[in-house]
Amino acid sequence: MREKELEKLKDYKYGFSTDIENFKAPKGLNEDVIKFISNIKKEPKWLLDWRLKAYNRVKVLKEPNWQKPKYPKIDYQDLYYYSAPKSFKEKPKSLDELDPKLIETYNKLGIPLNEQKRLNGIAVDAVFDSVSVATTFKDTLTEKGIIFCSISEAIQKYPDLVKKYLGSVIPITDHYFATLNSAVFTDGSFVYIPPGVRCPMELSTYFRINASDTGQFERTLIIADKGSYVSYLEGCTAPMRDENQLHAANVELIALDNAEIKYSTVQNWYPGDKDGKGGIYNFVTKRGLCKGKNSKISWTQVETGSAITWKYPSCILQGDNSVGEFYSIAITNNHQKADTGTKMIHLGKNTKSKIISKGISAGFSDMTYRGLVDISPKSENSSNYTQCDSLLMGNKCGAHTIPYIKNKNANSNIAHEATTSKISDEQLHYCQQRGLNSEEAVSLIVNGFCKEVLQQLPMEFAVEAQKLVGISLEGSVG
């Protein structure tokens, strides 16, 4: 039995599960569960009301079904909406009080929570199932006035900031999954960078789903005040389980005048086994609002995991001269499916956006780029450049491009390019002639294909992502 488990882990090394006693809300989605979550987090009344309002809308909303990857109906009553390690009933005050099993889990994942083993100066907020377990480097950040903590903590300590910005980019009147998240979100990260501060280190959240039958609904809120800068990283893994698990997070970014937010994701949720059994449904809503003048939001994502990835990190370019960027690599193998892309909504004058999307599909998988560029009539002198390239490996997989382009302003320009091709025999031959085996050759060529996006990632992540790109495609050639 154990050997079999180990064999499985070879393919997905984060597939282990931690045996830890959990404390869960009763199964099912109803008002009581929402009250339970709100109560256990000692939330103020306005937030509970807000959650219930969202829940009332969820009841009447229908799940969208226009996406390419179809999935079996999710029974929302058969999920746990809150799951926390039992030791968290009273939140531990410091790392010393933290359950050693948890620390071990994160060590295994390569995320040391212990600050002595500092991770090249990256501050980490670790989220385990429904709760944030630890946030590192708090002192260094507090000195600069930066707030980096779990959103539950922020609700207690900085209610004004949370109240002002929560739901201002993804309102509770949004689509089904976003609204569901508003109703039942459990934890996530909160970042506030005060005016004029350049955050001295990378901030990072590490998401881990452990418990079975659990949906993970976290909410991240990042506010960059005037003239500030922050770079934020997000990583995710989950154990291997035969059933599909739902992950429906909301991420809201707000950039005020002259502020810049850089948001990078390396998504490596469990993708299911070779026959497409199990895996995470990654239905995430990510949206950034360039609220102020000269603000900038840049999304970078490397999507290699999940059974189904369905997300569109978007930018609303409201402030004049604001800039939105989207860099994406999506890799699907075996039976994975992805429908991902971005939306660039130009509202302000002189706004600019850039989209670089690289999709690679292998095995029996299906990859779709779906994007919207919308330049409104008042958005003078705006421009967009979009490039989406797809690479196919084998003829059992699919690669699709569905861009929506709307230009309503005569002084604005939109340029869009897309290509689909395969790795040419000449390229492979050239590499193999120089002593690489076929897998190394493919990995090299694919990394070259992705280079434009990988360059955008912070150093440590880029190395990791490069490896991941190679691993995800293992066994797809020859």
Partner 1 sequence: MENFKTDFEKTLKEGNLSEKEVAFKSLNAKEFSKQGFPNRKDEDWKFSDINQIIKKEIGELNFYSEQLKKGEIDKDILLNEIEHNKLIFVNGQLAQTDFSSEEKSKIEFLDNQNNIDEQLADNSLINLNNALSNKSYKLLVKKNYQIKNPLIIYHVSNNKVTSQNINLKIRFELEENSSLKVIDLVKDKGNKNFINIFYNFSLEKNSVLKNYKIDQFENNNIRYMFNNIKQSSNSVSETFYLSKGSTFSKNEIMCDLKGEYSSAFVNGIFSLDKDKHHEIKAKINHLVENTKSYQLVKSVLEDKSRSVYQGKIYVDSKAQKTDGYQLSKAILVDETTEFNAKPELEIYADDVKCSHGSASGSLDENSIFYLMSRGLSYKEARELLINGFLVEVINQITDEPIKKLIKNLYGLKNEY
- What is the binding site for partner 1 (CB under 8 A)? 66, 377, 390, 392-422
The structure tokens listed for 276 are 């497409």
Nearer to partner 1, 107 or 419 (CB): 419
- C-alpha–C-alpha distance, residues 314 and 342, integer Å: 5
Asked if residues 49 and 105 have their Cβ atoms less than 8 Å apart, the reply is no
Nearer to partner 1, 298 or 412 (CB): 412
**Strand runs labelled E in 10-121:** 22-24, 83-85
Give how far the C-alpha of residue 235 lies from the chain's centroid of Cα atoms, to the nearest Å.
Answer: 7
Minimum CB separation of residue 134 from partner 1 in Å reads 45
Minimum CB separation of residue 418 from partner 1 in Å reads 5
Nearer to partner 1, 28 or 403 (CB): 403
- C-alpha–C-alpha distance, residues 383 and 413, integer Å: 5
Minimum CB separation of residue 387 from partner 1 in Å reads 10
Check the CA dihedral 223-232-337-330 and report its sign: positive
The structure tokens listed for 258 are 């002259």
Which burial class, exposed, middle or buried, applies to 282 when counting CB atoms under 10 A from its CB (0-12, 13-18, 19+)? Answer: buried
Nearer to partner 1, 421 or 438 (CB): 421
Nearer to partner 1, 126 or 446 (CB): 446
Nearer to partner 1, 66 or 94 (CB): 66
Minimum CB separation of residue 372 from partner 1 in Å reads 10
Minimum CB separation of residue 338 from partner 1 in Å reads 14
Instruction: Return the half-sphere exposure (C-beta side, CA atoms, 13 A cut-off) of residue 306.
Output: 29
What DSSP element (H or E) covers 184? Answer: helix 176-184
Minimum CB separation of residue 336 from partner 1 in Å reads 15
CA torsion, ordered 276, 175, 388, 391, to nearest 10 deg: 0
